[in-house]
């Protein structure tokens, strides 16, 4: 007997003996997947499993599946499909990583604009846009680089749920089936998980960044449409079958991604958890679920520093990685190995709270714009940990406060490299975060020693966020803003920070490691009325020069910033060098100068004053400078175009912040001038409340000797004395 598949091809029904043969193959696959071993041929076979073989993997100890197994054994594929899909539609499917459709009350008046736009043929994939021509969507060559991970279906799914309009369900299902027809699973085999083409062509669906998000989306698709009468049993079955195949394909490469501690490995763990829930009626996914638990424990234990910072260090990615990791820990909380990781989960909570700005977000070190620190936390897991102060800060309620107003907490080791100091835990607190760590294992920027400042409810000095990586929209102006000169840092003779460069012998010199295996040795000292931080950066081998940055937070009221630059520039020893000392402000800040003093005013009336105390540099204002600027990031080679094969970086100067697909003008103040090395540039950073007068600024004393300078910093109870020289900075008793 023969039946016809969705596209009319003839499918021959297997005999009972062939079903038994498939089960033997599948059981052999399960046995082969002990610990980290991956049986690639067996998994590739599963990735191409036929409809009969797929049903042949149904669990044989579930009575409700007996009708499907009997029909299959009798050669009735249609009957087996109908029996299984009937069971699937009736059983509950839920998972913490899936949309809980049943818990979302349909809302009258739900905004369907985004969904309607998609149904009209205008698709946005998060980067590019495309109007589908009358001839149909080109799944291979259209400019939607993220088409095959289905980002545009989210709005359609929610529209289907809230309105009940069958158009949205039919579009979703037909779109998925069309994808399957244009990208048959056989095309995946042997391709690995790299499939990038360029910024204007569909990324191949086996690419890791398409594969795991698509599986998670398909989980939400089949769960939402389970009860819909607009979807046929065969359509549901075909999508479930494809989920099984793609999950088998993903399983081949998961261990490698987890071993690399890549964020793609974490997303694969999430996708596998969803797929195993949807496919829980089948035998092989039971083994995959066990493998997933083991790999999740490995990822959690290896992807974070002891201080709770994720090894990528990019804060926008760290936020989502931390939240997803806590969700994994919550899911596996009954496992003894995972319970042993609860102190690490507490450290992650400490990072989110300790680094989070009083205004609510994380600082945007690295790619993209970082979101809220609360978004990095799974509050259900937090309830199981010994961190009662998290709820106090997240919910802005009365209760226990964090252990200190500096992070890392006093006495604890610093690993990831972010350090924060604040006056208190209110939204109006004075706050500085400074970066003195490794570059991070991905999404790196030239932002070492760059800092951010918030005060009295306003973000003043920021680490400039980037746009999305690329866009084909006509008004797009995209950039990662990775170049060192764009950050709150120093350039010497036009040389900004670089990650590595070749010396005269052609050997690669790494300026700062991407990852550390020991705690950082930066100065992080605390006294009754001060915090002192010191770290440095070397420009070798491009320049024989070194830059040390020192920060004193005095009386929890203001900062003394000192940049000490030693060595020589391109002209050699004893010759003057050109120095640029940059301060990038938020886009909403207004700037005015009083001589060489910078006065920055926030929309709420709070002000931040940059008062130079030492050095002869003069301020220059840049805002939306489109003039190409040379950077040495990341390889020590001067260039004006920092684009790569996977992102666009249109050449530009200072004075920008990224939002969506375009840079927005934002004021950057750069102090510029020629100096002799050694030199010290000392600046007081002085916050003022709304309506507070400039005459209220503290009067900082300065007493110089031949080699040392003694700074007198007024405090509420007296004065703090800081002694600086070219070689040292210390707070006197």
pLDDT digits (tens, 9 = 90+) for 647-693: 777 789 999 999 999 999 999 999 999 999 999 999 999 999 999 99
> Is there a domain that residue 516 lies in?
yes
> Is there a domain that residue 710 lies in?
no
Share of the chain above pLDDT 90, in %: 92
Domain stops at, among 404, 435, 453: 404
CB 242 within 8 A of CB 178: no
d(CA 462, CA 600): 13
CATH of the domain at 656: 2.70.98.70
Mutual angle of helices 263-278 and 284-302, in 10-degree steps? 150
| Residue 332: domain span | 307-404
- Say whether both 311 and 204 belong to one domain: no
Q: How many domains does the chain have?
A: 3
Helix (H) or strand (E) holding 237: helix 233-259
Tell me the whole-structure pTM to 2 decimals: 0.92
d(CA 389, CA 489): 34
Domain stops at, among 370, 404, 438: 404
Whether the per-residue pLDDT at 17 is higher than 60: the answer is no
At 36-92, the pLDDT tens digits run 789 999 999 999 999 999 999 999 999 999 999 999 999 999 999 999 999 999 999
Burial zone of 44 (CB within 10 Å; 0-12 exposed, 13-18 middle, 19+ buried)? middle
Burial zone of 652 (CB within 10 Å; 0-12 exposed, 13-18 middle, 19+ buried)? buried
Asked whether the CA dihedral 309, 314, 319, 322 is positive or negative, the reply is negative
> Is there a domain that residue 450 lies in?
no
DSSP state of 428: T
Asked whether the CA dihedral 144, 147, 153, 154 is positive or negative, the reply is negative
Give me the pLDDT at residue 648, please. Answer: 74
CB 722 within 8 A of CB 700: no
- Say whether both 157 and 265 belong to one domain: yes
Burial zone of 714 (CB within 10 Å; 0-12 exposed, 13-18 middle, 19+ buried)? middle
Give me the pLDDT at residue 688, please. Answer: 98
- Say whether both 254 and 378 belong to one domain: no
> Is there a domain that residue 724 lies in?
no
At 720-731, the pLDDT tens digits run 999 999 999 999
- Say whether both 191 and 171 belong to one domain: yes
At 311-329, the pLDDT tens digits run 999 999 999 999 999 999 9
At 498-546, the pLDDT tens digits run 999 999 999 999 999 999 999 999 999 999 999 999 999 999 999 999 9
> Is there a domain that residue 705 lies in?
no
What single string gives the DSSP state of each residue in 487-526? SSSEEETTB---SEEE-TTS-EEESS-SS-SS----EEEE
- Say whether both 319 and 248 belong to one domain: no
Give me the pLDDT at residue 545, please. Answer: 98
- Say whether both 239 and 157 belong to one domain: yes
Interacting residues of 521 by C-beta distance below 8 A, sequence separation 6+: none
Interacting residues of 716 by C-beta distance below 8 A, sequence separation 6+: 529, 555, 557
d(CA 693, CA 583): 23
Whether the per-residue pLDDT at 258 is higher than 60: the answer is yes
Give me the pLDDT at residue 35, please. Answer: 64
| Confidence band for 15, pLDDT divided at 50, 70 and 90 | very low
d(CA 178, CA 200): 21
* Pairing mode, strands 618-623 and 667-675: antiparallel
CATH of the domain at 156: 1.50.10.100
What single string gives the DSSP state of each residue in 281-295? TBSHHHHHHHHHHHH
Q: Give SS3 for 110.
A: coil
- Say whether both 233 and 337 belong to one domain: no
Give me the pLDDT at residue 649, please. Answer: 77
Number of neighbouring beta carbons within 10 Å of residue 696: 9
Give how far Cα 94 sits from Cα of 99, 111, 218, 223, 531, Å. 8, 26, 13, 8, 49
> Is there a domain that residue 434 lies in?
no
CB 644 within 8 A of CB 721: no
- Say whether both 17 and 132 belong to one domain: yes
Interacting residues of 642 by C-beta distance below 8 A, sequence separation 6+: 479, 480, 482, 483, 631, 633, 649, 651
- Say whether both 383 and 244 belong to one domain: no
> Is there a domain that residue 123 lies in?
yes
Give me the pLDDT at residue 34, please. Answer: 53
E runs forming strands in 555-660: 558-567, 577-584, 590-594, 597-601, 607-614, 618-623, 656-659
Burial zone of 1 (CB within 10 Å; 0-12 exposed, 13-18 middle, 19+ buried)? exposed
Give me the pLDDT at residue 21, please. Answer: 33
How does 620-643 read in b/e, with b if 16+ C-beta sit within 10 Å?
A: ebbbbeeeebebbbbebeeeeebb
> Is there a domain that residue 102 lies in?
yes
Give me the pLDDT at residue 32, please. Answer: 38
Whether the per-residue pLDDT at 411 is higher than 60: the answer is yes
Nearest to 526 by CA among 357, 376, 619, 405: 405
- Say whether both 389 and 377 belong to one domain: yes
Give how far Cα 507 sits from Cα of 65, 502, 503, 541, 560, Å. 64, 5, 5, 10, 38
Whether the per-residue pLDDT at 11 is higher than 70: the answer is no
- Say whether both 141 and 282 belong to one domain: yes
Interacting residues of 229 by C-beta distance below 8 A, sequence separation 6+: none
At 555-567, the pLDDT tens digits run 999 999 999 999 9
What mean pLDDT, rounded, does the chain reach?
94
Domain stops at, among 303, 319, 342: 303
At 482-495, the pLDDT tens digits run 999 999 999 999 99
- Say whether both 645 and 505 belong to one domain: yes
Whether the per-residue pLDDT at 3 is higher than 60: the answer is no
Token code pair at residue 487: 């950050």
């Amino acid at each position: 007997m023969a039946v016809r598949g969705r596209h009319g091809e003839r499918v021959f029904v297997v005999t009972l003996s062939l079903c038994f043969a498939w089960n033997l193959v599948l059981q052999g696959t399960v046995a082969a997947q002990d610990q980290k071993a991956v049986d690639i041929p067996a998994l590739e076979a599963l990735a191409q499993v036929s409809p009969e073989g797929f049903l042949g993997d149904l669990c044989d100890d579930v009575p409700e599946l007996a009708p499907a197994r009997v029909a299959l054994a009798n050669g009735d594929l249609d009957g087996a499909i109908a029996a299984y899909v009937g069971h699937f539609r009736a059983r509950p499917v839920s998972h913490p990583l899936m949309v809980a459709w049943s818990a979302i009350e349909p809302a009258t008046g739900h905004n369907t604009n985004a969904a309607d736009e998609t149904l009209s043929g205008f698709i946005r994939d998060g980067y590019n846009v495309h109007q589908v021509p009358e001839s149909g969507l080109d799944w291979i060559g259209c400019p939607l680089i993220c088409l095959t991970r289905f980002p545009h279906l989210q709005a359609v799914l929610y529209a289907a749920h809230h309105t009940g309009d069958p158009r949205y369900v039919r579009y979703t299902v037909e779109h998925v089936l069309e994808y399957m027809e244009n990208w048959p699973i056989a095309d995946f085999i042997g391709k690995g998980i790299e499939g990038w083409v360029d910024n204007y062509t569909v990324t191949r669906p086996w690419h890791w960044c398409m594969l795991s998000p698509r599986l998670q989306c398909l989980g939400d698709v089949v769960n939402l449409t389970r009860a819909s009468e607009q979807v046929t049993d065969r359509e549901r079955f075909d999508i479930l079958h494809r989920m099984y195949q793609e999950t088998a394909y993903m399983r081949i490469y998961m261990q490698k991604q987890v071993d690399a501690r890549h964020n793609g490995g974490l997303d694969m763990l999430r996708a596998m958890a969803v797929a195993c829930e949807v496919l829980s009626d089948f035998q092989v996914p039971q083994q995959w679920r066990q493998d997933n638990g083991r790999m999740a424990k490995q990822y959690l234990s290896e992807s974070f520093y002891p201080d709770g910072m994720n090894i990528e260090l990019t804060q926008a990615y760290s936020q989502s990685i931390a939240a997803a990791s806590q969700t994994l820990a919550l899911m596996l909380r009954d496992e003894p190995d995972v319970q042993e990781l609860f102190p690490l989960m507490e450290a992650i909570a400490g990072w989110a709270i300790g680094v989070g700005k009083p205004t609510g977000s994380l600082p945007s070190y690295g790619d993209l714009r970082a979101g809220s620190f609360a978004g990095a936390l799974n509050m259900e897991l937090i309830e199981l940990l010994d961190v009662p102060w998290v709820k106090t800060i997240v919910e802005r309620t009365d209760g226990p406060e964090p252990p200190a107003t500096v992070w890392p907490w006093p006495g604890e080791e610093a690993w990831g490299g972010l350090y924060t100091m604040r006056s208190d835990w209110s939204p109006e607190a004075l706050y500085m975060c400074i970066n003195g760590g490794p570059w991070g294992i991905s999404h790196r920027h030239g932002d070492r020693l760059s800092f951010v400042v918030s005060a009295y409810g306003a973000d003043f000095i920021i680490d400039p966020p980037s746009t999305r990586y690329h866009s084909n929209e006509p008004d797009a102006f995209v950039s990662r803003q990775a170049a060192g000169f764009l950050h709150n840092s120093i350039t010497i003779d036009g040389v900004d920070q670089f990650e590595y460069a070749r010396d005269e012998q052609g050997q690669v010199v790494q300026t700062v490691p991407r990852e550390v295996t020991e705690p950082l040795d930066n100065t992080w000292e605390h006294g009754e009325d001060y915090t002192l931080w010191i770290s440095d950066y070397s420009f070798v081998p491009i320049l024989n020069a070194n830059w040390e940055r020192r920060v004193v937070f005095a009386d929890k009221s203001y900062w003394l910033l000192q940049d000490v630059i030693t060595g020589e520039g391109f002209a050699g020893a004893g010759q003057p060098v050109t120095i640029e000392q940059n301060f990038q402000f938020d886009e909403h800040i207004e700037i005015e100068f009083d001589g060489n003093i910078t006065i920055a005013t926030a929309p709420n009336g709070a002000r931040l004053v940059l008062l130079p105390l030492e050095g002869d540099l003069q301020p220059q204002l840049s805002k939306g400078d489109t003039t190409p600027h040379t950077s040495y990031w990341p390889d020590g080679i001067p260039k004006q175009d920092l684009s790569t094969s996977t992102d666009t970086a249109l050449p530009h100067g200072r004075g920008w912040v990224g939002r969506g697909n375009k840079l927005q003008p934002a004021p950057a103040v750069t102090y510029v001038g020629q100096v002799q090395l050694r030199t010290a540039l000392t600046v007081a950073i002085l916050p003022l409340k709304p309506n507070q007068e400039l005459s209220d600024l503290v009067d900082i004393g300065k007493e110089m000797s031949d080699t040392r300078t003694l700074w007198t910093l007024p405090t509420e109870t007296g004065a703090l004395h800081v002694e600086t020289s070219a070689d040292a900075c210390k707070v006197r008793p």
